[in-house]
Amino acid sequence: MYKIQVDLGEEKRQVIAGIKELYEEKDLLGKKVIVVANLEEKEIFGEKSQGMILAAGKEADLLTVEKAESGSKIS
């Protein structure tokens, strides 16, 4: 599990993501990912998680964007 700080534009949140076996920390730094931010806060392994990073498939291919600014809404 990774404890990740994500920038949602107007605020920063902590997300706990079970992708440690698939991604090295250096490959996640600066990556613009899609985050579901309207979820209830959960405690995962004793840590606060305030959202969910979206991924697809068995290999947890992260859903990313290139040009969108932090905090952009999906339309």
**pLDDT tens digits along 30-61:** 999 999 999 999 999 999 999 999 999 988 99
- The mean pLDDT of the chain is 94
Model confidence, pTM: 0.86
CA 19 to chain centre: 10
Burial of 14 (0-12, 13-18, 19+ CB in 10 A): middle
**Which domains can be identified in the chain, with CATH numbers?**
2-62 (2.40.50.140)
Tokens of 73: 């809404």
The total of other beta-carbon atoms located within 10 Å of residue 53's CB is 22
- The yes-or-no verdict on residue 75 having pLDDT over 90 is no
Q: CB under 8 Å to 49, separation ≥6 — which residues?
A: 14, 15, 16, 41, 42, 43
